[in-house]
Amino acid sequence: MAKAILVDTTKCTACRACQVACKQWNQLPATVTGFGGTYENPPDFRGSYTRVLFSESVKDGEVRWNFAKTQCMHCTDAACAMVCPTGAIRKSEFGTTVIDAAKCIGCNYCIANCTFGVIYFDRALNRARKCDMCYDRMSNGKTPACAKACLTGCLQFGERSEILAKAQAAVAAAKNRGLAGAQVYGQTEVGGLGWIYVLKDAPAAYRLPAAPEPPVTARFWQALFQPARIVAGLAILFGLWSNRKHSADLAPAPEGTATGAGRAISAGK
């Protein structure tokens, strides 16, 4: 059953409890950062799977803050999975996108093609790293760490259909409060996202693409590599079967059992 997390930006206070919980649960290392003229910290996804973006907008002469938690969006049409040559990136039973560290070869194709630019390359481990929506916690019936730690109800976890219904209700309530630009983001974008946003304004106000799509290069690589992976897989299976059969033919006969040659000698006596 597909899972999703609601991000209701009308309730986000940028407390960043989600960042702390994510870092703690995934045992991510501390990183040294500096002041870069923004309240955002960390400045990128090094040492972190999630970030809260601080964006300013001016409307009717009034400065407004737009806060939005960002991470891997768990796209249905995931470009990272399309271009992965080893099959390290796959869709889980929850509809999320996960990386098998044992299969990742550090080729960086996923990073170069990510629709939202949220995958980080760990040079020390030579592999790609990103949010997996706490796959280990979900597999044990638990809520992802970020949603569990949220203090305001901005983040809510559940079945995707339920989360979509909550998002639509939140947008209707926001419009009743005078937020005419309120909208749902993630329902259909990139085939549907695992993170469903309630935005107070247009996606651009949150530095989100208005109409995100997988890059054309990702579609090309998908068409090129998937058939190749299937052929390679079949070749490996055939090789294993052939080797096993050959080994069986060469195996010594059980004691007391005459082989073909033995039977021929016995018949000539």
pLDDT band at 258 (very low <50, low <70, confident <90, very high): very low
pLDDT band at 269 (very low <50, low <70, confident <90, very high): very low
Q: Which residues, including other chains, have CB under 8 Å from residue 258's CB and lie 6 or more apart?
A: 266
In the predicted structure, residue 194 carries a pLDDT above the cut 60 = yes
SS3 195: strand
Task: Note the pLDDT tens digit of each residue in 162-176.
Answer: 999 999 999 999 999
Q: Which residue has the tokens 């809260």?
A: 52
* Coarse DSSP helix, strand, coil percentages of the chain, rounded to the nearest 5 percent: 35, 20, 45
Task: Note the pLDDT tens digit of each residue in 204-245.
Answer: 999 999 999 988 877 777 777 666 655 544 554 555 555 554
Give the C-alpha separation, 47 to 42, whole Å.
8
Q: What is the pTM of this model?
A: 0.81
Q: Which residue has the tokens 């194709």?
A: 109
- Under 8 Å between Cβ of 206 and 66: yes
